[in-house]
Amino acid sequence: MITRVKDTAIFIDLENVYYGLKKYHMDPDHPEECHNLFLRLQEYYGKESIRMMEAYADFEQMDLSMMSLQKKRVHVHQVYGNGREGKERKNAADIQLCLDAMEVLYQIPEINTFVIVSADQDMIPLLDRLWSKGKRVELFCLCDESLSKTAQLHEFCDDTHNLFEFLNIDQFQNMSRIDRLFHNAVLQIYEWYHDPNNVGKSYGSTWIKNDFVRKFHLSEMEANQLFSRMLRGKYIVPIEIALNDKTYYGYKVNLDHPQVQTMIKIAGYKVS
> What is the model's pLDDT at position 85?
52
Residues 204 and 191: their CA atoms lie apart, in Å, by 14
Residues 265 and 258: beta-carbon distance below 8 Å: no
Residues 67 and 52: their CA atoms lie apart, in Å, by 17
Homologous superfamily (CATH) of 8-172 is 5'-nuclease (3.40.50.1010)
> What is the model's pLDDT at position 136?
95
The yes or no reply on domain 177-266 and CATH 1.10.10.10 is: yes
Give percent above pLDDT 70 in the chain.
90
Q: What is the CA radius of gyration of the chain?
A: 22
Whole-structure pTM value = 0.75
> What is the model's pLDDT at position 132?
92
The domain spans of the chain are 8-172, 177-266
Which ranges of the chain have pLDDT less than 70?
1-4, 81-91, 145-152, 175, 272
CB-CB neighbours of 145 under 10 Å: 12
> What is the model's pLDDT at position 143?
81
> What is the model's pLDDT at position 1?
40
Residues 172 and 164: beta-carbon distance below 8 Å: yes
Do the first three CATH levels of 8-172 and 177-266 match, i.e. the same topology?
A: no
